[in-house]
Amino acid sequence: MKNIVAIFLVIAVAVVGSPVEAQQQGKVPRIGFISTASLSSLASRLDSFRQGLREFGYVEGTNVAIEYRSAEGNIDRLPELAADLVRLKVDCIVTAGGSPTRAAKQATGAIPIIMANTADPVNEGFIASLARPGGNITGLSNFVSDLAGKRLELLKEAIPKLSRVAFFLDVRRPSSDLKGTEAAARLLKVQINSVAVESSEDIENGFRSIVRTRADAFIPDRGGFFVTHQKGLVKLAVKYRLPGMYPEQEFVDAGGLMTYATSISDLYRRAAFYVDKILKGVKPADLPVEQPKKFELIINLKAAKQIGLTIPPNVLARADKVIK
């Protein structure tokens, strides 16, 4: 009889585990996600992030929960959204850009923060260095020093007579691309006129202004504000028949003309690697920040036709993807 009881206890422990183990197994980790842009405008990025999580065995709603917070284009809301995630005691916070990273950093020095897509985290003061980030922040940077200049160069190749370009920037955040664009413009003998905006009305007023000053094309800066208003930008580009060089793929998917950019979807998928490490107990300070490895030139011929633009064959031949 004693032997039977002993066997039963061994089996019970093997199946259930210790009370501590059972409690740990029953705990579903919670990931916080914060962005300036609307969640609908980030749909493809979030799909890539969830795909990355699945590659590490995490399925949203089954063995991991994600708390989404979006400022819907209003940067001023980010601090309260970050504070809300801290109150929820999430296991880590994934940030979509520089402004959300700053808000999360100000909200907590304890909860690990994973940058999914931040331009220049060292100069922004988020980390000490890429190799040794220190503190509670790590993740991925999309910073490439000459990417803004390369965009203008490709725009000039697509429009050989290009002489005036309007650069849209959000007045509420520093631009990481304006200086690079201006430096390239001097070499290409192109005039850059910056257009400061902070609302959808400002964007349309800006288009009216740059049409009056006879701009040949425009470039919106990176950031959640422009991602949120991507459809409006694309519609105005068609309305005013102006070519646009966009900072990210979503704009072209929404009907914009062309983009040369880091593969943001790849960054978001890779962010899941950091989530996995953090949930397994690795400290953010011990995880080097990665830089982008994949870049894409995407051209939308439908958009070109709408504004009456013919893309030269040599530019089309260099495209990674052509939308027909």
Mean pLDDT, residues 164-168: 98
Residue ranges, CATH 3.40.50.2300, the chain: 29-144+264-295, 147-262+296-323
Higher pLDDT, residue 181 or 22? 181
Output the pLDDT for position 175: 84
From CA 38, how far away is CA 187, in angstroms rounded?
Answer: 37
- Provide the phi-psi class of 241: left if phi over 0, else alpha when psi is between -120 and 50, else beta: left
Q: Give the highest mean pLDDT range of 18-22, 35-39, 51-55.
A: 51-55
- pLDDT higher than threshold 90 for residue 22: no
pLDDT tens per residue, range 191-249: 999 999 999 899 999 999 999 999 999 999 988 889 889 999 999 999 999 999 999 88
DSSP state of 159: S
Distance between CA atoms of 204 and 29, rounded to whole angstroms? 43
Report d(CA 106, CA 113) in Å as an integer: 11
Q: What percent of the chain has pLDDT over 90?
A: 78
Extract the tokens encoding 159: 């429009």
CB 133 within 8 A of CB 114: no
Comparing CA positions, the residue from 249, 272, 267 lying closest to residue 320 is: 249
Q: What would you report as the CA-atom Rg of the chain, rounded to the nearest whole angstrom?
A: 23
pLDDT (0 to 100) of residue 223:
84
* CATH number assigned to the domain with residue range 147-262+296-323, chosen from the 4 options 3.30.70.3270, 3.40.50.2300, 3.40.640.10, 3.40.50.720: 3.40.50.2300
Percent of the chain whose pLDDT exceeds 70: 92
CB 222 within 8 A of CB 170: no
Is the distance from CB of 293 to CB of 251 less than 8 angstroms? Answer: no
Q: How far apart are CA 66 and CA 30, in angstroms?
A: 6
- Can you read off the two tokens belonging to residue 4? 């039977």
Predicted confidence at residue 27, as pLDDT, reads: 86
Architecture of domain 29-144+264-295 in this structure: 3-Layer(aba) Sandwich (3.40)
What's the pLDDT score for residue 25? 52
| Residues 63-87: tens digit of each pLDDT | 999 999 999 989 999 999 999 999 9
